[in-house]
Amino acid sequence: MKVKHSTWILGLLLFVVSFTQTTQAQSLDEFEDKVTEFTLDNGLTFIIIERPVAPVVSFATYVNVGGANEPVGHTGMAHIFEHMAFKGTHTVGTSNWKEEKKVLKELDNTYQEWLAEKHSTQPDSAKMDTLWSQFEKLQEEAGQYVVNNEFSQIIDRNGGTGMNATTNQDRTNYFYSLPENRLELWFSLESDRFKNPVFREFYKEKEVVREERRMRSESQPIGRLIEEFAAVAFTAHPYGRPTVGWHSDITATTMKDAREFYNTYYVPNNITFAIAGDVDPQEAKKLAEKYFGDMKKGPEPPPVYTKEPEQRGERRFTIQGQSQPFFIMGYHTVAQDHPDSKALQLLGSILSGGRTSILYKRMVEEEQTAMQVSAFNGYPGQKYETLFATLAIPNQNVGVDTMETSILEEIEEIKNEGVSQEALDRARTNARADLIRSLDSNSGLASSLASAENLRGDWRKVFTDIEELNKVTVDDIQRVANKYLTKDNRTVGAIVTEEDSSSEEVADANN
């Protein structure tokens, strides 16, 4: 087991902590040993942050896998497995795992047979009906062994709070908090669910995911717009696929597929744990060895090699419908660790970060053409080359073409005239404040450090980001605007009402 202690970043960390309401000022020497990192022989990384301001400990588990890593034909897989992680283990959530396991195996085999028949060149409807009837009986039989919500109930009974998980294009994370005297309980439960996944109620949970898709992307106009926007903007990179998954892919995914996905990506060298609060690092090390030491080391997960080709011309699309109009526009840019990333981040803040920002003052306050407007770098992910996106919601009787004209005019102004030092300083101050707020709790500390370590290779980048922001100049802002925010590099989309579509198209790109 390798052990490392942070020393060189503690001054920055002290600066951040000094702004929090729950931590008293302390000297560098006092704080020097408060952040400890260690890696087990199997590759599992732990980050321990001592913050004994209350008898509570927060836990964050980050897995370096998201929608961008899913196999072709199985979009939504990362999200489906996220749901599975709450279904229990061989001992939690079941009344008889030995018998349940047999039924689950037969259940999956039957579903695979039904799926193969469904997609055969000449599907036999009678055979499909027979297989589906058998599948439903097996699913009912498997349900007899399920102890519903036992995993979450154990956490609740022990004073746990905030249990949840999220999946995006870049990662999957799990988190909750417990009283400090329940540290070993977390190690026991977390190791059990990641060493012994059972895929309990897999096919029922797929329907929950499918319903989430309906609610997010099909029942919400903005969801439809954003999904279409990514698909149009990315022709090769998996960022163009929805994290929630396509309907047909959700149907096509089996328990066998999910297990292969788990075996590929849920390996120790692809997982990072962060623990923040009233915790003893030495005790955490012992418990980590006890509960996670026997987790088998796996091969390096396959990287994403696909690179989005250079866009050779503007792309446009329009969705017609009976809904509030929306406007979206994006430009291909860079991943979060590229030297230009921080300048693009600050450019987004200058354009739309708060009431003093350029677009807010013009479109929301002065002209009152927009209900809301935002600009930011990093959609739909940040680990790979991404998009600088702008989104605007017009006020009543205002067209999406007005949104486009206003945004493009302000972008051109920045490209030609630059921005003021005052605007840059304000954006930088807001960015630092956002970081400080994100670290103003045990859960925020755990999540931020685990994310940086897992996705970017070093948790210290949470703090060195401040230094990088300070290096950005007004010339950098103007340079990245001219480099990336070009006509040939952009994708433009809108939702327009059916009544307006014949007379109000998204404006031609003549700016």
Q: How large is the average pLDDT for residues 239-263?
A: 96
Instruction: Please say if the pLDDT value at position 186 is more than 90.
Output: yes
Q: Do 286 and 371 have their domain in common?
A: no
Please report whether residue 281 resides in a domain: yes
Q: Do 358 and 432 have their domain in common?
A: yes
> What would the two tokens of residue 182 be?
């329940």
Residue 374 CA to residue 363 CA, distance in Å, equals 11
Please report whether residue 58 resides in a domain: yes
Share of the chain above pLDDT 70, in %: 91
Q: Do 328 and 416 have their domain in common?
A: yes
Domain stop point among 243, 263, 293: 293
Supply the CATH number for residue 393's domain: 3.30.830.10
Q: Do 350 and 219 have their domain in common?
A: no
Please report whether residue 172 resides in a domain: yes
Q: Residue 17 has what pLDDT?
A: 37
Q: Does pTM surpass 0.85? A: yes
Which residue type is seen at 231?
Answer: A
Please report whether residue 445 resides in a domain: yes
Q: How confident is the model at residue 499 (pLDDT cuts 50, 70, 90)?
A: low
Smallest CA-to-CA distance from 326 within 506, 149, 136 is with: 506
Instruction: Please say if the pLDDT value at position 511 is more than 60.
Output: no
Q: Residue 293 has what pLDDT?
A: 96
Instruction: Please say if the pLDDT value at position 32 is more than 90.
Output: no
Considering its fold, how many domains does the chain have in total?
2
What domain range is 48 assigned to?
33-94+146-293
Q: How confident is the model at residue 25 (pLDDT cuts 50, 70, 90)?
A: very low
Please report whether residue 199 resides in a domain: yes
Instruction: Please say if the pLDDT value at position 8 is more than 60.
Output: no
Q: Do 289 and 319 have their domain in common?
A: no
287 close to 80: Cβ distance less than 8 angstroms: no
Domain stop point among 293, 325, 357: 293
pLDDT in tens, 192-222: 999 999 999 999 999 999 999 999 888 889 9
Q: How confident is the model at residue 15 (pLDDT cuts 50, 70, 90)?
A: very low
Instruction: Please say if the pLDDT value at position 3 is more than 60.
Output: no
> What is the Cβ-side half-sphere exposure of residue 208, based on CA atoms within 13 angstroms?
11
Q: Do 288 and 339 have their domain in common?
A: no
Domain stop point among 293, 326, 346: 293
Q: Residue 460 has what pLDDT?
A: 87
Tokens 């120790």 appear where?
268
Instruction: Please say if the pLDDT value at position 436 is more than 90.
Output: no
Q: Do 288 and 332 have their domain in common?
A: no
Q: How confident is the model at residue 435 (pLDDT cuts 50, 70, 90)?
A: confident
Q: Do 243 and 204 have their domain in common?
A: yes
Q: Do 420 and 276 have their domain in common?
A: no
Smallest CA-to-CA distance from 493 within 311, 232, 237, 313 is with: 232
Q: Residue 321 has what pLDDT?
A: 80
Q: Do 339 and 275 have their domain in common?
A: no
Q: Residue 10 has what pLDDT?
A: 35
Q: How large is the average pLDDT for residues 441-459?
A: 93
Please report whether residue 324 resides in a domain: yes
Q: Do 426 and 360 have their domain in common?
A: yes
Please report whether residue 267 resides in a domain: yes
pLDDT in tens, 369-420: 999 999 999 999 999 999 999 999 999 999 999 999 999 999 999 999 999 9
Please report whether residue 274 resides in a domain: yes
- Does residue 380 have a cis peptide bond before it, meaning omega lies within 30 degrees of 0? yes
255 close to 81: Cβ distance less than 8 angstroms: no
Instruction: Please say if the pLDDT value at position 509 is more than 50.
Output: no
Q: Do 199 and 343 have their domain in common?
A: no
Residue 458: how many CB atoms within 10 A of its CB?
Answer: 13
